[in-house]
Amino acid sequence: MVALSSDPEDGHVESTGGCACGAISYRTEATLRSVANCHCERCRRITGHFMAATGCEEAELDVTDDGALRWYEPSPGVFYGFCSTCGSTLFWKTDDGDGWISITAGTVDQPSGLTTSAAWWTAEAADYHSLDRSILNHEYESGASGSEV
Ligand SMILES: [Zn+2]
Ligand SMILES: [Zn+2]
């Protein structure tokens, strides 16, 4: 499968991706945001390491789902989307009305063309993990310069 295909007409790039078992797939013609890592304890437990997420406007994301997609709501208005068949974590969103959906970068088909630009909640990063100091590191969430993931 080809993750990135350039349309010579308008330079548009399409991204595709999906879960490990294939029950859920997605595609978008939106330009995906650079990857941000979230090391908060909740993301660490849910992903098994840390959340590395890109994202786009939810309205620009076409999701194909055979019924396996489930949403876990660990606190009111915060949702992690995962495949109930294979367990892949695919999405993260809130109901705050910003229209944004975060997409776990590891589910984007390769080559993704993405780069990692920032890390959040580094104060909660696991002790076995070596943080990348070449990117912007935020100890906690700062509303001033970005969102959690
Ligand atoms: Zn799956
Ligand atoms: Zn997090």
Tell me the CA–centroid distance for residue 139 and ligand 1, in Å: 32
Is 148 within the bounds of a domain? no
Closest-approaching ligand to the CA atom of 83: 1
What was the pLDDT predicted at 9? Answer: 53
Cα–Cα distance for residue pair 89/72, rounded to 1 Å = 10
State yes or no: cis peptide before 111, omega within 30 of 0. Answer: yes
Tell me the CA–centroid distance for residue 43 and ligand 2, in Å: 4
**Are residues 149 and 53 in contact, defined by beta-carbon separation less than 8 angstroms?**
yes
Tell me the CA–centroid distance for residue 63 and ligand 2, in Å: 23
At 133-144, the pLDDT tens digits run 999 999 997 643
Q: What proportions of the chain, in percent to the nearest 5, are helix, strand and coil?
A: 10, 40, 45
Asked whether residue 147 carries a pLDDT value surpassing 60, the answer given is no
8 class by beta-carbon count within 10 Å (0-12 exposed, 13-18 middle, 19+ buried): exposed
CATH number at 46 reads: 2.170.150.70
Higher-pLDDT residue of 146 and 126 is: 126
Is 58 within the bounds of a domain? yes
Quick one: average pLDDT of 24-51?
97
Structural domain count, the chain? 1
Ion ligand 1, residues whose Cβ is below 5 A away: 19, 21, 23, 83, 85-86
Comparing CA positions, the residue from 24, 28, 43 lying closest to residue 112 is: 28
Place of tokens 């849910």: 46
In this structure, what token pair is assigned to residue 123? 């104060």
Q: Enumerate residues 6+ apart whose C-beta is below 8 A from 137.
A: 118, 119, 122, 131
In this structure, what token pair is assigned to residue 38? 């979230």
Is 24 within the bounds of a domain? yes
Is 85 within the bounds of a domain? yes
Is 37 within the bounds of a domain? yes
Higher-pLDDT residue of 88 and 141 is: 88
Tell me the CA–centroid distance for residue 50 and ligand 1, in Å: 19
Residue range(s) defining the domain that contains residue 36 = 5-108+117-125
Is 52 within the bounds of a domain? yes
